[in-house]
Structure 1
Amino acid sequence: MAKKAATQSRKIFVLDTSVILYDHQSIMNFAEHDVVIPITVLEELDQFKKGNDTRNFESRGFIRLLDKLSEDHMIQHWTPLNGKNKGCFKVMMHPENALNANEIFGEEKNDHKILNAALSLKQTEKNRKVILVSKDINLRLKAKSLDILAEDYETGKIKNISEIENTGKETLENVNPETINELYERNTLDAKAIFGRSKKHIPDNNTFYILKGASNNASILAFFNASENSFNKISKSRAYNISPKNAEQAFALHAILDPDIKLVSIQGVAGTGKTLLALAGALEQRSNFKQIFLARPIVPLSNKDIGYLPGDIKSKLNPYMEPLWDNLKFIQNQYKESDKEYQRITDMVNQEKLVIQPLAYIRGRSLSNIFFIVDEAQNLTPHEVKTIISRAGENTKIIFTGDVFQIDTPYLDSQSNGLSYLIDRVRKHPLYAHIKLEKGERSELANLANELL
């Protein structure tokens, strides 16, 4: 009786293809509950197994995992998942139901076949809670219209986006003006001079500060160095003739140029200078690295494959890389064509010391002695971000830039994308710094669009 009650308390989760393409290990993340994979999902995964995109790797990874888990079992029956306190899984063939989603919605689609699997389980497992798990919002809505419980895949999802919004920068009011003057003169100051001996306020590693005076308009930009428990003054210094135009840009450029910070993320809306600062900082440090890589994921408009576009592969990819070239041209045009700095950029591109490529071309490479800038990182999954960082070798620095509220990839949102995941998981680490750029500096017209439209 107790065993039967325990079984009834276990839920049954039906996984959609979108969940597996997001995380091929997802089947292992449902604690003691059971997992059902509709056969339609395996059929869809078969279409994704060839290629070099992340979804192709996820598809192959899941198929291999399922093969390993099944061993000598017939997978249309409940098969134990490896691990203590884990449930079971099975693959469900095409069921016959009194309710048929294909007929209800007037169209035969794979999504409806997956819904039919959930409907069948509701009929056969009347004492258990059946839940469809999908990254596809529309499929979840269809499930709910059929009285099927449905939810997003929550593993790796940020619970409170506002927490990462406020990471990396603080403003301290009413600082003693004499303390500000001392920091101006000495460039560095023991943290006790600002916080006293109180242990209530212990700054996070690599936090940036705006220190404002108590009785006058004096203020200073500072950086908290946790290893020395000190504040360092930040000056608005240039990088390859690019100057920061506000406090946040000064903070970002400081993090980019600091050799002790190996991993940086810069969040901000379009026009705040994320990519421009990262590239200018990379060029300023060109002698410290063998190569500069600047890459971004390819997310075609309307999510059509780039095969739809005319021309050879280079012609197909050029439109997606143009924004990166535009930033490089902007930096180059800070100089005259006769200047050595102008020619140096041309030489670096020709000699492949500076490489601009789609992110998929970087996959599998060992990133040693590289300054690596990943643009539009909000369009990456957490697994992709982890894969990129795990490729870092000696003397490598990685900068992720993006806007967590401007997602172009299906099934990602502000809480589940790789950039948000990175900020949430790595903040407070001594090798990492994060800055949010708040003010648009592209033009007054661009600011109008960001603020009013």
Structure 2
Amino acid sequence: MTTQLTTVHLDLVPQDSDRLAVLCGPFDDNIKQIERRLGLEIVYKDAHFQIIGEHRYAQACNDLLKELYIETQPIRGKTATLTDGDVHLALQDLIANHRLLEIRLAEAKTGTQSLTIKTKRGVIKPRGENQSQYVSNILSNDISFGIGPAGTGKTYLAVACAVEALERQEVRRILLTRPAVEAGEKLGFLPGDLSQKVDPYLRPLYDALFEMLGFEKVEKLIEKNIIEIAPLAYMRGRTLNDAFIILDESQNTTVEQMKMFLTRIGFNSTAVITGDITQIDLPRHQKSGLRHVIEVLNDVEEISFSFFTADDVVRHPVVARIVKAYEAFERKVEIESEKS
């Protein structure tokens, strides 16, 4: 069904060029942020604004611009300011008050609209209840964790959500990272430059991007730094705004690395952390940051945890049976060790 667009006209009064400049931001950055987040177009001349988009989003934007314009009133003769953070928080309140996200999720639950991820290469639909809940959590929370065995779609669905957010202009870039920890074997010296050294660790992320965007598009976006793929160590000291960030293989982070990563997240950013706590490749004396964070953040608002089991594996059926066999064997070992 084609989305019906509407145009909402808005005149901001009193007309004040200084206040309008504050509202729009330098180089219209505030207007662009609103357009990206709400998926609409804003055209203005002086104090007259045209908002073009889906009806409920256009009406919500109309209310938002009025509220932000009130915030531009001079205080004790001093010119007011509107930072990226101010606009981001206003958008967060707007989305909550107008229930824009809840409408999409409710439609999916009632069957009037499936909870799908749309990219230019096609539509990706979650399989099963756990995958649907995982996607719902990513859409409705700033930070989401996907925890479970290999083959349950944790990374693939996270990358799909990131691609959709980028194509809808809800974020400016995608950042994919994972710790460079060898899986139980020493690879020794790796030839080549930095990119060539870390690429083997990041290959699953590349594969998902190539499938959803195509090789040439991915290469162009990487060249423009719109997509960045880097080892976790390169996140230290950064603040990541307007980004969709995915930390893959997070079971191989230390407690310090996990804390460092989570505190990098800035305004208008979404973070998804995936991992499998049964496949930790850290030295035995180091505690996994993923295991630790489950205990620390389990009750924090705007952070969600999705747990997958062998029943959610979407690879070859034998993979699910392998995962279950390992789980049964590990339970048996634990019981025997407790008895002894």
TM-score, with length taken from structure 1: 0.43
For 1:68-147, list aligned pairs within 5 A: none
Give the Å deviation of 1:309. 2.2
Write the letter of the residue equivalent to 2:315. Answer: R
Q: For 1:331 and 1:445, how far apart are their aligned partners in 2?
A: 26
Alignment partners' CA distance in 2, 1:345 and 1:405: 32
1:326 to 207, 214, 221: 207
Q: Which residue identity is paired with 2:162? A: A
Q: Give deviations 1:74-121, integer Å, cap 9, x for gaps.
A: xxxxxxxxxxxxxxxxxxxxxxxxxxxxxxxxxxxxxxxxxxxxxxxx
Structure 1 unaligned residues grouped into runs of 5+? 1-224, 334-341
**Residues 1:311 and 2:189 are matched in the alignment:** no
Q: CA deviation at 1:358?
A: 1.2
Equivalent runs, 1:326-405 vs 2, <5 Å = 326-332=207-213, 345-405=218-278
Alpha-carbon distance, 1:251 to partner: 0.6
Residue 291 (1) aligns with residue 162 (2): no
- Distance in 2 separating the partners of 1:389 and 1:395: 14
The match for 1:282 is 162
Partner Cα distance (1:389, 1:302) in 2: 26
Query: How many residues are paired up?
Result: 213
> Is 1:257 matched up with 2:130?
no
Deviations 1:393-435, CA, capped at 9 Å, x for gaps:
211221110011110111367xx31112222211222211110
Within 5 Å, give how 1:403-418 maps onto structure 2: 403-411=276-284, 416-418=287-289
The separation in 1 between residues aligned to 2:176 and 2:300, in whole angstroms, is: 24
Q: Could you report, residue by residue, the CA deviation over 1:338-389 in whole angstroms, capped at 9, with x for unpaired residues?
A: xxxx865454333221111111122222212221100011111122111111
Relative to the length of structure 2, the TM-score reads 0.57
- Counting aligned pairs with the same residue, the percent is 31
- Supply the AA of the counterpart residue of 1:384: Q
Q: Which has the higher contact order (CA 8 A, sep 6+)?
A: 2
- Tell me the residue number matched to 2:320: 447
CA distance in 2, matches of 1:403, 1:331: 24
- Establish whether residue 238 from structure 1 lines up as the match of residue 111 from structure 2: no
* Structure 1 residue 308: Cα displacement: 1.7
Alpha-carbon shift at residue 391 of structure 1 (Å): 1.8
The structure that is helix-richer by fraction is 2
**How much has 1:302 moved relative to structure 2?**
4.4
Change (3 A) 1:322 1:343: closer
Q: Which amino acid aligns with 1:380?
A: T
Q: Determine whether 1:426 maps to 2:297.
A: yes
CA separation of 1:301 and 1:401: change in aligned 2, threshold 3 A = closer
In 2, Cα distance between the equivalents of 1:314 and 1:344?
A: 18
How far apart, CA to CA, are the structure 2 residues paired with 1:296 and 1:324? 9
Query: 1:198-239: per-residue Cα shift (whole Å, max 9, x none)?
Result: xxxxxxxxxxxxxxxxxxxxxxxxxxx9xx9x9964444221
CA distance in 2, matches of 1:408, 1:377: 11
Report runs of 4+ in structure 1 exceeding 6 Å deviation: none
Instruction: String of CA shifts for 1:179-200, please: whole Å, max 9, x gaps.
Output: xxxxxxxxxxxxxxxxxxxxxx
Q: 1:270 aligns with which of 150, 157, 181?
A: 150
Listed one character per residue, the Cα deviations across residues 322-352 of structure 1 (whole Å, up to 9, x for unaligned) are 111122223346xxxxxxxx86545433322
CA contact (8 A) 1:242 1:331 kept: no
Moved more, 320-329 or 295-304: 295-304
Secondary structure at the residue paired with 1:292? strand
